[in-house]
Structure 1
Amino acid sequence: MSAALVQAERIATLTTPLGEDTLVLVRFNGTEHMSQLFEFTIDALSEERDVDFDRAIGRNCSVSLTAYGGTRVFNGILVEAQWLGPKNDYFSYRLVLRPWFWLLSRTTDCRIFEKKTVLEIIKQVFSDRGFNDFRDNTTQSYPQIEYCVQYRETDLDFVSRLMEQYGIYYFFDHSSAKHMLVMADAKSSHQAVPGLASLPFIALKGSDRREREHVFEWKADRQFRTGKVELKDYDYMKPNAKLLSDAKGTAGYTKSDMEFYDYPGQYIEQDKGDRFAKVQLEAEQARDQRRFASGAAPSLFPGGLTTLEEQIKPSENIQYLVLGATHTIVTESYRSGAATLEDQVYEGSYEFLPGDRPFRAPLTTPRPFVHGPQTAKVVGKSGEEIDVDEEGRILVQFYWDRKKMQSCRVRIAQVWSGKAWGGIFIPRIDQEVVVEFLEGNPDRPLVTGTVYNGDNKVPYDLPSNKTKNGWKTDSSKGHNGYNELVFEDKAGSEEIGIHAQKDLNLVVLNAETREIGEKFMPPMGSPSRSTTLKNGDDELKLEMGDQNITLAMGSQNVSIMMNQTTSANMAISSTAMLSHTDACGPLTSTAMTPASMSDTAPMIMITGMAQVTVTAPIINLVGIVNVTGLLTVNGMIPMLLPT
């Protein structure tokens, strides 16, 4: 009969939600590194053939190692459990622990953050998922981000790439009940390793190796790294601004000024570009001057500070930031008696960076890329039909956004654009627009067109009007009218139609020429039409055909400030039903009515080149009559009366 599995008084123990000693530790392998997810693999034994892991997966488990006068705890979320089969009268299992931050790799989202700092965004992501086991040890201030999109990426990737871009990194602080994610950005964010502020170097043959934590192997590493980072970007609000940012390293080796250049740098403010360039350079150069060690120092953890002592190379005895650690624990057999330190085997390997060199996580998390255009809905202020700012930008709501957040102000690609000239069409609220993204970046949308949909139908019935093209607008507010320019391209019925809902204003600064093939039909309707030529001539030429002007109701008034000439090669006919008056100045006129005609002038002269004939039953001559030439009178001549 096998002995009961009991962990009491053992140096390394495993604690799970399954209950005390349900699983006991046999072997532990753990890796942890700055700005990386730790992973702890545990081999364990159990008296139970079929352990119910539903009570443990997704919950905190911990391993405690008691050695060198202290206790080191490794805490994590149980994410994997394997049954390995029988072993030494028991049953063998393998467990994998990872941080709660890893759980965010199991979630994806599409959402928009506006006017928040990078830390505010990160903390909101954590809290939205129900996690509050984090601590903010950052020391720098961070600018507000106007618009930031998480697009089809895990919460882990989204948070990681923001941290990398802004120079924030993280590590974990472990306790028996939980592990705390700690965000940092400078040396002052860190503290000395508890109980191990000084780390002794003890050679393998050292007599006191079992008495204190130490390292016995030490390597100093140098690497050639890029020595300059230069970034560039463009701000359409300040198109002439030179948004060029760079950062230079201080390494003294040959070709240390090799440059990394990139565009776009993901910024529109100079100080933000300078920050990004500096962060990228520090991340690159943090790969140089690393230290690697092997030993027995389980207290070491990423994010802690320790000072090396007793190394034979004096220049190495300085303070270091712990970047990474690998831990291996192999316990004594459960068939043996009581546990002793000699029965316990711990090995570790560690990575350090000199404390005077800044650490930044490498920018390895990929940014999301929008593959091709997508559509969105135009939104805006309640009660408005058009919501546009002074730059001609609109707001849209993406169909992937479950929270129905509006976008930032988005520019619209027009058919032509210049300095206060070009073409402009403003999409209106509830229209569906086509959106593309500059460099595939979801943070930089651009409206490139509009499309019809089930609610917004085409303006002409199709396919019956398939030859009709043009523009038809909508009166705003109220939808009670429209302006239209339409082209009918049907063979034999070609037509251009213009509809003005109210006024049509045409301005011709020089000349207007029209050529009409068959007939001209003047415009009709109410109210009036007014045409003004401020300077120049107005010429109408009909090469063949008639001109007819009909005023169905109303009068025609022609006012000429200088001269009028009328010439007809054949005949001129003028008819008035009531009266016809021609006047020259205030004293001379010819007046006609259906019953009479009178000529009035200071002097009237009648000259016939051959003959003048006056015929009437009665002719009255009043005043002095001068007759030159032959006068023939037929009929009675009345008395000439003096005036």
Structure 2
Amino acid sequence: MAERMAIAKAAVEDLKFLNLKGKEGISQIYEFEVEMVSKDPNIDVRKMLGTNLTVEVETTTEGGSSEANEIANNPVVGSMKKMMKLAEEKAGEAAEVASIPRKVMEAAIGSVGSPQKPRYFSGRVRRFEMEGPAHDHSEYYIYKATVVAPLWFLNQGKDYKIFQEKSVKDIVKEILDKFNVDHEFKLSGNYRDWGFVVQYNESCFNFISRLMEHEGMYYWFKHEDGSVKMIIADDLSASETFPQYENLNYVSGPSQVGDTRELISSWRHTAQVTPSKYTVIDFDFRKPKTSLDTNTDNKLDGDDDIEVYEWQGGYQELADGDCYAKLRLEEFKTPQEYIEADTNARGVCPGYKFKLANHPRNSENIECLVLNAKYEISVHDYASGSVSQDNFETSFECLPTSIQFRAPRKTPEPKTTGPQTATVVGPEDGKPYTEKHGRVKVHFHWDRDGKKDGEDSCWVRVSSPWASTGYGSLQIPRVGDEVIVDFIGGSPDRPIIVGRVYNEDNKNLVDMTSEAHTTGFRTRTIDGGSDNQNFLLFTDKKGEELVDIQAEKDMKQFIKNDLFITVG
């Protein structure tokens, strides 16, 4: 890398890096504020939007290892480095320095502390600002960029979309591919297909986030030069260590002037009470007498017995419920124990692991997973000519790897605010399209992708005025009918038909302008014409009261005892 600790790589080449501030974390959209300068006052701020921007930060051979830190702070090595830099800057004036063979000096210093694979902070520009001249009479202009994860763009719109017979992995992949988000799955579990799941008036980001949270998946970002990859995992085995930063030393207190060691300077270990028992229950109408309730617990010593009980766990098989109960308990256990720390080590990244060393309390010298980090990075100021020391500071939270991390279910499931209408669909208009439970398929008016061919939705149960064992009332909505759909528990994934309505195409069975006094039932012969019908109609107009019955073909009566008919 160059003589500077960090440089910026943007769509405009002559932007020079000054500082970066920002946050990133597991299962979070990161955002960095990057300040740069340029001698060009005419950079088009609009053309920078959506472009890639990378900040490249120098790292060292051994990162935070004790051996590298000792050598890096050796006064002889430090003096030799200063002499080499002086020779480069003032070779003509420092003849005594320039006469020292450079190769001999480099060999003496060796590879320890030399630049290795850089640390990158990459993303796309969502906001770009030209702030103005750096100061009076300066030739530099200050520019500021807000750099975000590619997922940020998935959170800007909203959509309605139905997914059927797909796993969460399949759904996430489909959406990430649609937005060209580079990603990699590192999953150890097997995931069921969801029969019917709806993205309902929510952003693509919220949709995939709540599904991944439900299934116990989480993600972080691997930053590269000019690109970033989303890593999706469900187990700690998917996390790696950042090269040369496998071990980090703990050294308490402020560092001395000129101390270039990369270390952890503060380490605060916290434990707290969280729920210790999780119970979930659901209901499947196809197995109404089968219990789908399940629970699990993990009570710590001294903990209160705190239970979280949830209805509608989003499953129909008990084995799936057991799996979700385990995931929920791991979710509750994640914040039971965590560590807050500060470091100047440049290889501390969310999603990566490291091992602490040299803490006076031996039980703290453990392997941890970095959960989130807050960065402050700066270099000496081009615009002012300052020779201030480069700075890289990180405050972060981590979790002992003895605890399986689970992202909290913080993304709310959308709820419907009331019933809506839909159209019954199937292969042939005017005919029943159903199955053994009398369910039908519908096309929702908001569904832009449905073909109205019977594959638009799941099978939807139909409410009846009376439903019992082998008796009640029966009338299956036919293809083309408009029905009223509500949702069990307000969940878009659980529609149920609760009524039917007429519309301009499907008119009422009588002319309501002149026959509003008529009530009754009228059916239509399948494959017949408009006159082929059975009906039972009641006329309630004073002086014209009538019961009108028609059997389109035959009429059958079976009376087990008496039939009384009275006329007059």
Q: Give the TM-score of the pair, scaled to structure 2.
A: 0.86
Q: Is the 8 A contact 2:428 2:479 kept in 1?
A: no
Q: Is the 8 A contact 1:330 1:346 kept in 2?
A: yes
Q: Residues 590-605 of structure 1 correspond to what in structure 2 (within 5 A)?
A: none
Is residue 2:166 matched to residue 1:116?
Answer: yes
Residue 73 of structure 1, aligned match among 97, 120, 123:
120
User: Unaligned 5+ residue runs, structure 2?
Assistant: 61-114
Provide Cα deviations, 1:12-57, integer angstroms capped at 9, x if missing partner: 1111112x22x22222102111111111111222223332123321
Provide Cα deviations, 1:126-149, integer angstroms capped at 9, x if missing partner: 1123x1400101111101111111
Q: Which residue of 2 aligns with 1:439?
A: 489
Percent identity between matched residues is 33
**Aligned-partner Cα distance in 1 for 2:518–2:429:** 33
Q: Residues 289-328 of structure 1 correspond to what in structure 2 (within 5 A)?
A: 289-328=337-376
The higher-RCO structure (CA 8 Å, 6+ apart) is: 2
Provide Cα deviations, 1:93-121, integer angstroms capped at 9, x if missing partner: 22111111111002221111111111001
Q: Is the 8 A contact 1:26 1:330 kept in 2?
A: yes
**Aligned-partner Cα distance in 1 for 2:541–2:565:** 23
Provide Cα deviations, 1:323-342, integer angstroms capped at 9, x if missing partner: 11111012112157697xx7
Query: Following TM superposition, by how much is the alpha carbon of 1:515 offset from its aligned partner in structure 2, in angstroms?
Result: 1.8
Distance 1:469 1:336, change over 3 A: closer
Q: Which residue of 1 aligns with 2:547?
A: 496
**Aligned-partner Cα distance in 2 for 1:397–1:238:** 27
Residue 434 of structure 2, aligned match among 369, 388, 408:
388
Query: Following TM superposition, by how much is the alpha carbon of 1:382 offset from its aligned partner in structure 2, in angstroms?
Result: 4.4
**Aligned-partner Cα distance in 2 for 1:443–1:93:** 47
Provide Cα deviations, 1:194-239, integer angstroms capped at 9, x if missing partner: 2111111123366799444210100001111000110111111111
Residue 9 of structure 1, aligned match among 3, 27, 40:
3
Residue 83 of structure 1, aligned match among 119, 130, 143:
130
Distance 1:292 1:209, change over 3 A: farther
Provide Cα deviations, 1:495-516, integer angstroms capped at 9, x if missing partner: 1111110111111111112221
Residue 26 of structure 1, aligned match among 14, 18, 23:
18
Question: After the TM superposition, which of the residue ranges 163-172 and 501-510 deviates more from structure 2?
Answer: 501-510
Provide Cα deviations, 1:48-100, integer angstroms capped at 9, x if missing partner: 33321233211210111114444211001100112323222132222111111
Secondary structure of the structure 2 residue equivalent to 1:343:
coil
Is residue 2:218 matched to residue 1:169?
Answer: yes
Q: Which residue of 2 aligns with 1:38?
A: 30
Is residue 2:316 matched to residue 1:265?
Answer: no
Q: Is the 8 A contact 2:429 2:480 kept in 1?
A: no
Secondary structure of the structure 2 residue equivalent to 1:162:
helix
Q: Which residue of 1 aligns with 2:390?
A: 344
Q: Which residue of 2 aligns with 1:362?
A: 408
**Aligned-partner Cα distance in 1 for 2:43–2:2:** 21
Q: Which residue of 1 aligns with 2:281?
A: 232
Provide Cα deviations, 1:571-596, integer angstroms capped at 9, x if missing partner: xxxxxxxxxxxxxxxxxxxxxxxxxx
Q: Which amino acid aligns with 2:366?
A: I
Distance 1:379 1:370, change over 3 A: same
Q: Which residue of 2 aligns with 1:409?
A: 459
Distance 1:9 1:336, change over 3 A: farther
Q: Which amino acid aligns with 1:358?
A: Q
Q: Which amino acid aligns with 1:311?
A: H
**Aligned-partner Cα distance in 2 for 1:394–1:209:** 75
Q: Which residue of 2 aligns with 1:59?
A: 51
Q: Which residue of 2 aligns with 1:608?
A: none
Secondary structure of the structure 2 residue equivalent to 1:285:
helix
Secondary structure of the structure 2 residue equivalent to 1:120:
helix
Is residue 2:40 matched to residue 1:48?
Answer: yes
Secondary structure of the structure 2 residue equivalent to 1:404:
coil
Residue 180 of structure 1, aligned match among 229, 235, 238:
229
Residue 501 of structure 2, aligned match among 451, 468, 491:
451
**Aligned-partner Cα distance in 2 for 1:248–1:434:** 42
Question: After the TM superposition, which of the residue ranges 62-71 and 296-305 deviates more from structure 2?
Answer: 62-71
Query: Following TM superposition, by how much is the alpha carbon of 1:292 offset from its aligned partner in structure 2, in angstroms?
Result: 0.9
Secondary structure of the structure 1 residue equivalent to 2:319:
helix
Distance 1:516 1:188, change over 3 A: same
Distance 1:434 1:446, change over 3 A: same
Q: Which amino acid aligns with 1:375?
A: T
Distance 1:288 1:151, change over 3 A: same
Secondary structure of the structure 2 residue equivalent to 1:516:
coil
Is residue 2:96 matched to residue 1:102?
Answer: no
Distance 1:379 1:118, change over 3 A: same
Is residue 2:477 matched to residue 1:427?
Answer: yes
Q: How many residues align?
A: 505
Q: Is the 8 A contact 2:430 2:526 kept in 1?
A: no
**Aligned-partner Cα distance in 2 for 1:325–1:45:** 26
